[in-house]
Amino acid sequence: MKINFLKIAFLSLSILTLASCSSNDESDPEIIIEPPVLNPSNLLTTQNVTTFMVDANATKETVALFYNLKKLAKTKVAIGQQDAFNSFYQDNGGESDIKKNTGFDPAILGSDFMFITDKNNNNQADNWFYQQEEKLVNATKAAYAKGIINTFCWHLREPSKEDSFYTADMTADQKANAFKSILPGETHHEWYKKKLDKIASVLLNLKGSNGELIPIIFRPFHEFDGSWFWWGANFATAEEYKTAYQFTVDYLKNTKGVHNVLYAFSPDNSYTTESNYLSRYPGDKYVDILGMDNYGDFDNQGQSGATKANSKLKIISDLAKAKVKIAALTETGYQVTSTKAPITDWFSTYLYSALTSNNIEVSYVMLWNNNKDAYFVPNGSVSNAADFKNFAVKPKSALLNSLPKMYELPK
């Protein structure tokens, strides 16, 4: 829906002019009426929601997810974790570590297309990579059945040898050419399309109990402002990055007919201004969620780091309000290891203040995964378990137990 603010202003001025002309008393005091402050976010309704989305043909559950995430940010921040159902501290399986600690499931489940699109995945039942695909698909379906939000990143291995996504593992030639080679007309473009074909196949078969397609959030080419990944800033111009992102969206949506995706744009934390943040932005027609990954500001920097993180979140919160998009902290955390102790009140003070200060509206936060030897989210048995539990019950925090129905538009 487009609103012509100049036309509104002109009409308002015309009305005021007519009103003043109707008086014959030249001594009438001048009446000055301040124009109303219009918040674009308030324009969102259940009827016009697709106007603000990437996919005008999104499934009704996907439309509902966009609407409900946008509205959620006014009162709550959904809390989740990458691989929450499959990666556990000390390999202690069963319920997620979040649920072991709090008694409640996470509100967000993070997954990765990495093994799904791996060159070694041959779609055979005895293949380890295919088994990982099945595990991820089953976790996504189980999360959706509970009402949890699903989000996917993609650590895609570089196209020439498909051995790694980290530039530290690549030759100078690989680093210089990998990203450019997947662009339309280039040497690995067909290779890239086949990877997207695989993702499309998975998404088009990702169905709930009534046969409906399960919505996911997809954030391709994340942390692109750093250069640790082959799609990073040193290896792609801004225009090349935008082209690849736009192609990815168009191909999934228009060529493959995938309509159960919200698209997230998520640099790391290097930006300090709106123009920095938008320097590689592919455009409103290609982005539903304005995200940020941020570990650095929370790495033992105390309140000053939390304040820096909050100022960056405020930039995307303000942009999300103006553009009628969703703002999110798409990845964060502080990893505790055998040699790296927890930070006192990291969750309940620093992370919470970053997510809530200065009237920002952030829809969700996702913490990175736990493993056998280290954790980002404490289970119930470690020294900072109470800190996370306190964080989870704060007024604006939401685990699954306080999450509204995300896949239905309110009546």
Angle at 189 between CA 205 and CA 116, to 5 degrees: 35
Angle at 6 between CA 3 and CA 11, to 5 degrees: 100
- DSSP E strands in 32-103: the ranges are 77-82
Separation of first and last alpha carbons in the chain: 21
Is-catalytic flag, 223? yes
Tokens of 2: 């487009």
Which residues have a Cβ under 8 Å from the Cβ of 370 and sit 6 or more positions away? 81, 83, 87, 88, 89, 97, 376, 377, 379
User: Which residue among the candidates 61, 133, 158, 331 is catalytic per the annotation?
Assistant: 331
Which pairing describes strands 289-294 and 77-82: parallel, antiparallel, or unpaired?
A: unpaired
Which pairing describes strands 216-218 and 261-265: parallel, antiparallel, or unpaired?
A: parallel
Q: Are 333 and 297 in contact (CB under 8 A)?
A: no
User: Which residue among the candidates 190, 223, 240, 361 is catalytic per the annotation?
Assistant: 223
- Count CB neighbours of 365 within 10 A: 26
Buried b (16+ CB within 10 A) or exposed e, 97-135: bbbbbbebbbbbbbbbbbbbbbeebeeeeeeebbebbee
Which residues have a Cβ under 8 Å from the Cβ of 260 and sit 6 or more positions away? 58, 59, 61, 62, 203, 206, 213, 214, 215, 216
- DSSP E strands in 278-378: the ranges are 289-294, 326-332, 364-367
Which residues have a Cβ under 8 Å from the Cβ of 32 and sit 6 or more positions away? none
Q: Are 356 and 396 in contact (CB under 8 A)?
A: yes
Q: Are 315 and 271 in contact (CB under 8 A)?
A: yes
Q: Are 295 and 333 in contact (CB under 8 A)?
A: yes
Is-catalytic flag, 26? no
Distance CA 313, CA 352 (A): 12
Residues with a catalytic annotation lie at 223, 331
